[in-house]
Amino acid sequence: MASNEYAVEMRGIVKVYPDGVVALKGVDFLVKRGEIHGLLGENGAGKTTLMRILYGEIKPTRGEIRVFGRRVSFRGPWDAIRQGIGMVYQHFTLVPAFTVKENLYLSLLSVNPKARLGDAVSKADKIAEETGLRIPYDEIVEELPIGVQQRVEIIKALLRDAKILILDEPTSVLTPIEVRDLFKALRKLRDMGITIIFITHKLKEVKEITDRVTVLRKGKLVGTVETGKVDVKTLARMMVQREVVFKIEKKPAKPGEVVLEAKDIHVIDEEGVERVKGISFQLRKGEILGVAGVQGNGQRELAEALAGIRRVSKGRIILGGKDITGYNAYQRYMKGLAYVPDSRGTGLVPDMNLVENTALTNLYRILGWARRIKWDRAVEITSRVIRELEVVAPSLYAPIKHLSGGNQQKIMVGREIVREPDVFIVAEPTQGLDVAATEFIRKTLLRLRDNGKAILLISTDLDEVLQLSDRLAVIYEGQFLAMGRPEEFTIEKLGLIMGGVRE
Amino acid sequence: MSEALGSWFKGFLEQVRIRKRQYLLGALEIVLSALTGFLVAALILYFIGYDPWYIFEIMLTYGFSDLGYLGTRAAPLIMTGLAFSIPLLAGVFNIGGESQLYMGALLGLYVAYVTHNVWLGLIAGFIAGALWGGLIAALRVYRGINEVITAIMLNWTAYYTIIYIILVYLPNPKQSHLSVQIPVSEMISYGETFALAVVGALIAYFILYYTDIGYKIRVSGANPRSAVYAGFSPKTAIMASMLLGGGLAGYGGTLIIAGVTGSIDTTMSTLYGLGFTGIGVGLLGRNHPIGIIFSGLFFAGLIIGGQWVELLTGAPPYVTDTITGIIVIALSMPYAYRLLVNYMGRLGKK
């Protein structure tokens, strides 16, 4: 019987979000009891959506879910927890100001209101004994290293008698030694009969730890295979293979002099994790340097460090022959650098109108005597953005949140173009846009290149970087693992490097 | 100049056209809130044995009949309203308008008394308020101390310090419960007091909407991430907004002294509460300097009307305070609620 064999059976899962985005297009996902099951895919493949459905956070539009053979329909995570499902997020859900003990107690209370503080400790002790996941009980959570916090998070799930443990990209925040310890513990958990679902995009880890692996691509199931029977190349191909949707006419690049140079940049984030680990490159006039990679491998930190929003902990940044490492973002923008961020929530002020939003990075160009803002100048600039990028807006004075995503994106790109900077750092420029807007933005980038601008294009959309780039770098865990002309990368090779496998 | 004004006006009309719906809804919201407030107040009055209709009639007719007096009473409220709203635009809760006004009143009085020049007094009042507000901002920005807590403590610090200073260093030789007086020749008229308040509000409007730093303040409050992206320092925005807001509160403190009392009494009765009322003024004015001029006038009318109610009906002050309070809460609540939701949402995302 199926009920004996499978811990999780999800069949024909479809998820359409309220905004019309189809995240899952009928996925079957079967996890056997007591195995470590990898869930592999690029960004937007639907991994997280699938798991959030299993954990009861969101409801599937269609499809059937069985847990240990029983048909379930969760109203919320509390239902999933009661069925023995535990989830460990990338961003932890611990109370930072509480001690470990208090956090464990809190989570035990949610399943057993009569529990006492001592129960949490004795139960956790037993689990720690069996799994080798050692944790200090009396330390304040926020003072612990990330790796230890993660262990607390896992134990927290096990305290509630989780039989199925979902781990969302658990190694992305860990050091190699912590990864080794985590894997050791996961194997012990498997031996105890706990089923583990391991979400990742790292091929090496899939090979190392999983028994079987399911690959998703763009909301569809590519296949489920036994890890031992396939090599990483096959997995890479499964993950990234695609048909190119449309091609863009592209003239050969005529690279000029170097305008932006990064020398061994390192960036440490707010949590103290080193996100960029020594990246160096040169960017020339009239070329597009693409940076491909799976989200969360240091792209944002790299872009923000180049733009001056984040400090580099080490390394130098040179713009047009001048060392700008000590400049803030405003000064760098004045010196001819432009940055289009990966999120409109960062780049735009929703309640402000088009003119005020255009002024954001054009401020130094519209200041008059005594730092007075010349709004008529700002209106001129905004009108130019609207004209050149064919923005559809009810009025210059409409709050920008009333515009469609594509038009918002055009304002964000356009207000940089009209400043005529030498260097563009562009992150995810077509994220969430429809085909027409996407094509428009991509053509605009090529036109800028042909006009001699230097462009650093950071994108998790492989089609985009392959189509647009003159040179291509692949980022993985804060480093460029490879750099070359896009023709030099087969799709399979690209997939391997993005998954952290260097040949 | 006229061309600039023309383009400003065109922009203004366009703004009104495009946000017509929003403005209409806003107006509707204010009318409904006012009705709710008066209704609840009427019920309470009815149950404690007063004739609501009679009370409201006194409040509204007497409160708004003497325009000169109304403008004078509104002047400090407009200033403390701005003292609350300008920092709020930068994303900071300044409930220290109360003590910023005290400090401005004290230093303004002292300088005007010593120099025999009310203009120097007003400048001194601004500076005193700005420094007192700047202290809160500096503790927040450089030491990470919550501005609300600092402000509450500094309010009381200022309250007692001022009483002490008046009693010990600046007592009035003729009337022991008062401080020294500003020379009568330097007192300003009711009309001048209100006009100076309006000038203050207009300057605030100009700074917020037509200068570099005002724009940075507004961006920092509306979307801190965008401010960081644009390379604006959130610290500078917070400091600037608190210096400006505190300064205006201090300026407002000097305005009452120079326009009405000429001195500070040792029970602080002329100053007490103006800063707290300013919170309501700022919220009802929807954080906009021009709106705050009108909401300041409205509040002043309610307060004056309340005093007439006490005078004519013999109702105790807490009855009129309750009535004013209910109306104020009703009028500020919808907007305050939205601000709070916004603020909490932002906390959640961090």
Note whether A363 contacts B215, CB cutoff 8 Å.
yes
Note whether B14 contacts A396, CB cutoff 8 Å.
yes
Residue B70 one-letter amino acid: L
Do the Cβ atoms of B96 and B133 come closer than 8 Å? yes
B-chain residues near A332 (CB < 8 A): 231
Q: Is the pLDDT of residue A502 over 80?
A: no
For B189-244, strand residue ranges (E) read none
B-chain residues near A330 (CB < 8 A): 230-232
| Nearest neighbour of B231 by CB, restricted to A333, A348, A394 | A333
Note whether A372 contacts B210, CB cutoff 8 Å.
yes
Give the burial string for B256-268 (b: 16+ CB within 10 Å, else e): bbbbbbbbbbbeb
| Nearest neighbour of B18 by CB, restricted to A352, A375, A395 | A395
**Chain center to CA of B223:** 25
Note whether A309 contacts B228, CB cutoff 8 Å.
yes
Which residues of chain A have a Cβ shorter than 8 Å from any chain B Cβ?
307-309, 328-333, 339, 341, 345-353, 356, 359-361, 363, 367, 370-373, 375-376, 379, 394-399
What is the Cα–Cα distance from A32 to A6, expressed in whole angstroms?
4
B13 domain residue, yes or no: no
User: Residues with Cβ < 8 Å from A26, sequence gap 6 or more?
Assistant: A12, A13, A14, A62, A63, A220, A221
What is the pLDDT averaged over residues A225-230?
91
- The four Cα atoms B5, B8, B12, B15 give a dihedral, to 10 degrees, of 170
Note whether B4 contacts A371, CB cutoff 8 Å.
no
B292 min Cα distance to partner chain A (Å): 20
A-chain residues near B211 (CB < 8 A): 370-373
Note whether B210 contacts A371, CB cutoff 8 Å.
no
Predicted local distance difference test score (pLDDT) of residue A357: 94
Which residues of chain B have a Cβ shorter than 8 Å from any chain A Cβ?
4, 7-8, 11, 14-15, 17-19, 210-213, 215, 218-219, 222-223, 225-226, 228-233
Which among B346, B15, B216 has a CA at the least distance from the CA of A361?
Answer: B216
What is the pLDDT averaged over residues A314-319?
93
| Nearest neighbour of A373 by CB, restricted to B19, B211, B233 | B211
Predicted local distance difference test score (pLDDT) of residue B2: 62
What is the Cα–Cα distance from A35 to A221, expressed in whole angstroms?
19
| Nearest neighbour of A345 by CB, restricted to B17, B219, B225 | B225
Note whether A360 contacts B225, CB cutoff 8 Å.
no
Predicted local distance difference test score (pLDDT) of residue B200: 95
**Chain center to CA of A99:** 30
- The four Cα atoms A219, A343, B347, A355 give a dihedral, to 10 degrees, of -140
Tell me how many domains chain B contains: 1
| Nearest neighbour of A347 by CB, restricted to B18, B226, B232 | B226
pLDDT digits (tens, 9 = 90+) for A60-118: 999 999 999 999 999 989 899 989 999 998 778 889 889 999 999 998 888 888 888 88
Give the burial string for A250-272 (b: 16+ CB within 10 Å, else e): beebebeeebbbbbebbbbeeee
Do the Cβ atoms of B219 and B227 come closer than 8 Å? yes
- As to burial, measured by CB atoms within 10 angstroms (0-12 exposed, 13-18 middle, 19+ buried), residue A156 is buried
What is the Cα–Cα distance from B329 to B333, expressed in whole angstroms?
6
pLDDT digits (tens, 9 = 90+) for A258-282: 999 999 999 998 878 889 999 999 9
What is the pLDDT averaged over residues A308-321?
92
Question: How many residue pairs from chains A and B have C-beta atoms closer than 8 A?
Answer: 82
3-state secondary structure of B346: helix
Predicted local distance difference test score (pLDDT) of residue A1: 42
B227 min Cα distance to partner chain A (Å): 8
Do the Cβ atoms of A268 and A275 come closer than 8 Å? yes
Note whether B231 contacts A339, CB cutoff 8 Å.
no
Predicted local distance difference test score (pLDDT) of residue B346: 60
Note whether B223 contacts A372, CB cutoff 8 Å.
no
User: Residues with Cβ < 8 Å from A354, sequence gap 6 or more?
Assistant: A382, A386, A391, A393, A395, A396, A397, A398, A400, A403, A411
- What CATH number did the domain enclosing B135 receive? 1.10.3470
Note whether B212 contacts A363, CB cutoff 8 Å.
yes
Note whether A397 contacts B218, CB cutoff 8 Å.
no
For B80-158, strand residue ranges (E) read none
B-chain residues near A361 (CB < 8 A): 230
In this structure, are strands A164-168 and A70-72 parallel, antiparallel, or unpaired? Answer: unpaired
What is the Cα–Cα distance from A46 to A23, expressed in whole angstroms?
6
Angle at CA of residue A495, ends A491 and A498, nearest 5°: 135
A-chain residues near B341 (CB < 8 A): none
Label each residue of A303-365 as H, E or C: HHHHHCCCCCCEEEEEECCEECCCCCHHHHHHCCEEEECCCHHHHCCCCCEHHHHHHHHHHHH
Which among A65, A45, A58, A72 has a CA at the least distance from the CA of A15?
Answer: A58
Residue pLDDT tens, chain B, 350 long:
566 667 677 777 777 777 777 778 888 888 888 889 889 989 988 998 888 888 888 888 888 888 889 999 999 999 999 999 999 999 999 999 999 999 999 999 999 999 988 899 999 999 999 999 999 999 999 998 889 999 999 999 999 999 999 888 888 888 878 888 888 888 888 989 999 999 999 999 999 999 999 999 999 999 999 999 999 988 999 999 999 999 999 999 999 999 988 888 888 888 888 988 899 899 888 899 999 999 999 999 988 998 898 888 888 888 888 888 888 888 888 888 887 777 776 654 44
Query: Which helix (H) or strand (E) segment is A280 a member of?
Result: strand A274-284
Name the residue ranges covered by the structural domains of chain A: 2-240, 247-336+427-503, 351-420
Note whether A329 contacts B15, CB cutoff 8 Å.
no
B-chain residues near A397 (CB < 8 A): 11, 14-15, 18-19
Note whether A359 contacts B18, CB cutoff 8 Å.
no
pLDDT digits (tens, 9 = 90+) for A189-222: 999 999 999 998 888 888 899 999 999 988 889 9
Note whether A375 contacts B210, CB cutoff 8 Å.
yes
How many CB atoms are located within 10 Å of the residue A87 CB?
23
B11 domain residue, yes or no: no
3-state secondary structure of B146: coil
Read off the pTM: 0.78
Q: Is the pLDDT of residue A174 over 90?
A: no
Structure tokens that stand for B73 in this block: 């009473």
Angle at CA of residue B53, ends B49 and B58, nearest 5°: 100
Strand partners, A168: A199
Which residue range is the domain that position B273 belongs to? Answer: 45-345
CATH topology of domain A247-336+427-503: Rossmann fold (3.40.50)
B-chain residues near A308 (CB < 8 A): 231
| Nearest neighbour of A359 by CB, restricted to B7, B213, B215 | B215
Q: Is the pLDDT of residue A2 over 60?
A: no
Note whether A367 contacts B212, CB cutoff 8 Å.
yes
Do the Cβ atoms of A359 and A383 come closer than 8 Å? no
Angle at CA of residue A346, ends A19 and A453, nearest 5°: 105
How many CB atoms are located within 10 Å of the residue B294 CB?
15
Note whether A395 contacts B17, CB cutoff 8 Å.
yes
The C-alpha R_g of chain B, in whole angstroms, comes to: 21
Structure tokens that stand for A304 in this block: 């923000």
Strand partners, A167: A88, A198
| Nearest neighbour of B211 by CB, restricted to A339, A346, A371 | A371
Q: Please, which pLDDT band fits residue A503 given cuts at 50, 70 and 90?
A: low
A-chain residues near B212 (CB < 8 A): 363, 367, 371-373
Nearest-Cα residue of chain A relative to residue B206: A372
Note whether A372 contacts B230, CB cutoff 8 Å.
no
3-state secondary structure of A454: strand
Q: Is the pLDDT of residue A300 over 70?
A: yes
A-chain residues near B7 (CB < 8 A): 375-376, 379
Query: Which helix (H) or strand (E) segment is B24 a member of?
Result: helix B20-47
Structure tokens that stand for A326 in this block: 């000590």
B169 domain residue, yes or no: yes
Give A401-437 as a DSSP string. Answer: GGS-HHHHHHHHHHHHHTT--SEEEEESTTTT--HHH
What is the Cα–Cα distance from A251 to A74, expressed in whole angstroms?
54
B16 domain residue, yes or no: no
> Which of B25, B205, B209, B223 has the most A C-beta neighbours within 10 Å, making it the best mutation to test the interface with A?
B223
A-chain residues near B231 (CB < 8 A): 308-309, 328-333
| CATH number 3.40.50.300 is the correct assignment for the domain at A2-240 | yes
What's phi and psi for B299, nearest 5 deg?
A: -60, -45
